[in-house]
Structure 1
């Protein structure tokens, strides 16, 4: 591909576009976790409950998951840079609206809806542009390593940064911080050039977009209803499953008629990609599930403030930073499958230590060893999972697979907060904390099995 040297490393002009792309992933991940340490402050200021804040967090993650596939598809029609900039602008407006929110409803509109829509528009271009500009396994691992490092740091350091801002200023200032970062990204984005021209003639499957989004929303709403009404939970889950079946039937019908659906069924015929997306889903489920569970337990059960809670999460941030920045070196020495398996094993061990240490030691620092291992494990496997999936498809399908991949990952984030949060909020006690963490560990084992089933000689590039 033009624009790269023989080593696959983009020249300086192309390499500099990595800064706004990585910062975009950072701020979107930050937004998904920084509210975890503001639970008490927000609920008191807006006269709502812990469950109300949990719902706001989950809706934000859910909107991202539901709209990521349509967002990825729109990049083909309107261009990757244009969608990226529109997403940034929408996100920034949502952040400012959240900062001024007088109540939970406006907070959900700004943070959960507008920031969620903005993220769904801007994140697929991040992964499409990276895949197109970095063409060999080493340079792509380096680029995705940087992006996933900042994304993971955003999620892991969100509690610390959010805690600092909340303690020194207020929780509202954390949203102003997001808006400022968005402004910086917009300035840096002037360097970005779209490597492929947009195709305005590409059709857009509006009906498919509505069905896919509705199905995903109903599924997560069903999980959220588990602690209130089991019949409602069952009904929502069944309805969500039926809507998704309807969606896939409509996709097949459109393909049979020679029309372009929202998502081609060929996306699901690649066994390596399918397994890679399972690992992505579980990775983000673990990260967001652990983050919400530990943050809520520390604040509500043990009475820690935002800054105290955030400081404890430093261990996870350091672990994730160390292993993510080593992605390029690890990719040269080990197979993608090996890295993903190792990451899950280390993260699951970290959850086990979290359960054991916290029950046996009253100090909040008993969380540090487990969080450190979880951070290390996630950092080891986030990059190879993305690399495996994105590299399984040619350039012309990057819009579809990027949207699907990010949707699967963000659905994992939604499920992590919903599953762990539902268990924890149903009974904010030490036993509920243990039940939530055990559930996450079991789900982590499922991710490990998916990694074992990946081809032994997974090649990327």
Structure 2
């Protein structure tokens, strides 16, 4: 492997390498949140029901959950850049197909199936390439800071951007916007170089891929069933857990037989990585859960439209952007464990402020201090959490851990969506809103507990990365 890495290049070269990776995370996060403000417009235009459009959103989450781990593993065999470009092309075709969809079926094919497959293929390479190219802690923190900032902005500002596009043009224009961004990313990706050559001889664990996909689909279905039937939710979660246990046993059996499994069981024996994964899951749950719950409250209880709701959410977007882009400076000054702990504390404080202000003031701008704190807190900890997990393993394990990491984050996003859905079905009131936010605060405390248990010193691979 060449000794000269991106972290030693001049700033213009750094930006050229980082731009497509950050934009890829932005558009995938945008796609996961902007469609929620277009549900009514899509259902009317396609002559379907709100529930039908929600099915499309659900299937998108299921496809991502099912394919993220296999998508990460395929990067070892076919190369990270090739998988990234393939994912971008599939995603772009799906976006264009969604833009011209004459009915719900074509929308599900384009948005849910093709965009879901594209996301599962392109997101793992984003994190693998960032880890491989930016080898020292400071430059990697800078890179992940930019990526997580754009990812957070995509998720937080998705409702505003989607609402504006829908109001000014059409919901179809939002998918054209996605396709245009994909075209820009593909053009920028010509500057990317894969630090590791692909290994076509690497085997692919098809049985493991099927079992992991089935288990994760059942878990996500269980999470999303929370707003319909508690018993169905519990049954699906239990069945998903059994299939994932079967998956884990198959991994061990293949290792004992000397064959390469989809995931090495040693990934689950790394204490630092496991704790980091818990914090990642909690962070994305807090981001999506607070976003959807507050958006539902503003639109259903207070009667705001998508644009007004998106404007209020600008506070969270600005807070997240401000702290994410300072990740490099923060990484030089504070241990990653400290940053993650501080992020959870600030986010929990933001939730408390939101609950207090929503009940005491009818002014919509009274919610902005709480949203700002949530954005600041999430921005502080998203980057170090990813860095802790990715840096816990050497280069040859990045395909596995990246797929696992993104699956865990997507499960957090799905659970956050389920919290919002449960509140909507229960008949949104101030009391129900407060209950949902208290639940999110408790989850924040769980994430904080995991952060407290993280080691004070960085993982060994993180310490020696710049010397490899």
Distance apart, 1:50 and its partner CA: 4.6
Asked if the contact 1:343–1:381 (Cα under 8 Å) also holds between the matched residues in 2, the reply is yes
Alignment partners' CA distance in 1, 2:202 and 2:14: 27
1:249 is matched with which residue? Answer: 249
What are the within-5 Å matches in structure 2 for residues 283-298 of structure 1?
283-298=283-298
- Residue segments in structure 1 that go unaligned for 5+ positions in a row: none
Tell whether 2:405 aligns with 1:405.
yes
Alignment partners' CA distance in 2, 1:429 and 1:100: 37
Alignment partners' CA distance in 1, 2:282 and 2:30: 18
Alignment partners' CA distance in 2, 1:216 and 1:59: 12
What are the within-5 Å matches in structure 2 for residues 384-399 of structure 1?
384-399=384-399
Asked if the contact 1:37–1:299 (Cα under 8 Å) also holds between the matched residues in 2, the reply is no
> SS of 2:223's equivalent?
helix
Asked if the contact 2:293–2:419 (Cα under 8 Å) also holds between the matched residues in 1, the reply is no
1:362 is matched with which residue? Answer: 362
2:431 is matched with which residue? Answer: 431
Distance apart, 1:230 and its partner CA: 2.8
Deviations for 1:391-439, whole angstroms, at most 9, x for unmatched residues?
1100110111111111111111111112332233332333322222222
Alignment partners' CA distance in 2, 1:40 and 1:257: 53
Distance apart, 1:238 and its partner CA: 1.3
> SS of 1:199's equivalent?
coil
What are the within-5 Å matches in structure 2 for residues 118-157 of structure 1?
118-157=118-157
1:380 is matched with which residue? Answer: 380
1:64 is matched with which residue? Answer: 64
Asked if the contact 1:275–1:453 (Cα under 8 Å) also holds between the matched residues in 2, the reply is yes
2:263 is matched with which residue? Answer: 263
Asked if the contact 1:272–1:392 (Cα under 8 Å) also holds between the matched residues in 2, the reply is yes
Alignment partners' CA distance in 1, 2:207 and 2:419: 29
1:108 is matched with which residue? Answer: 108
Deviations for 1:134-155, whole angstroms, at most 9, x for unmatched residues?
1111111111111111111111
1:35 is matched with which residue? Answer: 35
Tell whether 2:314 aligns with 1:333.
no
Tell whether 2:144 aligns with 1:159.
no
2:308 is matched with which residue? Answer: 308
RMSD of Structure 2 on Structure 1 (CA)? 1.8
- CA shift in 2, pair 1:145/1:171, >3 Å: same
Alignment partners' CA distance in 1, 2:304 and 2:45: 17
1:174 is matched with which residue? Answer: 174
- Residue segments in structure 2 that go unaligned for 5+ positions in a row: none
Alignment partners' CA distance in 2, 1:150 and 1:88: 17
Alignment partners' CA distance in 1, 2:135 and 2:220: 36
2:190 is matched with which residue? Answer: 190
> SS of 1:194's equivalent?
coil
Tell whether 2:405 aligns with 1:421.
no
> SS of 1:455's equivalent?
coil
- CA shift in 2, pair 1:209/1:166, >3 Å: same
Asked if the contact 1:420–1:437 (Cα under 8 Å) also holds between the matched residues in 2, the reply is no
Alignment partners' CA distance in 2, 1:345 and 1:445: 8
Distance apart, 1:163 and its partner CA: 1.5
1:74 is matched with which residue? Answer: 74
Alignment partners' CA distance in 1, 2:266 and 2:84: 26
Distance apart, 1:51 and its partner CA: 4.6
Asked if the contact 2:225–2:418 (Cα under 8 Å) also holds between the matched residues in 1, the reply is no
Deviations for 1:10-38, whole angstroms, at most 9, x for unmatched residues?
45546521111111011011111112322
> SS of 1:393's equivalent?
coil
Higher mean displacement: 12-21 or 266-275? 12-21
- CA shift in 2, pair 1:77/1:185, >3 Å: same
Alignment partners' CA distance in 1, 2:436 and 2:101: 31
Alignment partners' CA distance in 2, 1:131 and 1:401: 11
> SS of 1:73's equivalent?
helix
Distance apart, 1:245 and its partner CA: 0.6
2:240 is matched with which residue? Answer: 240
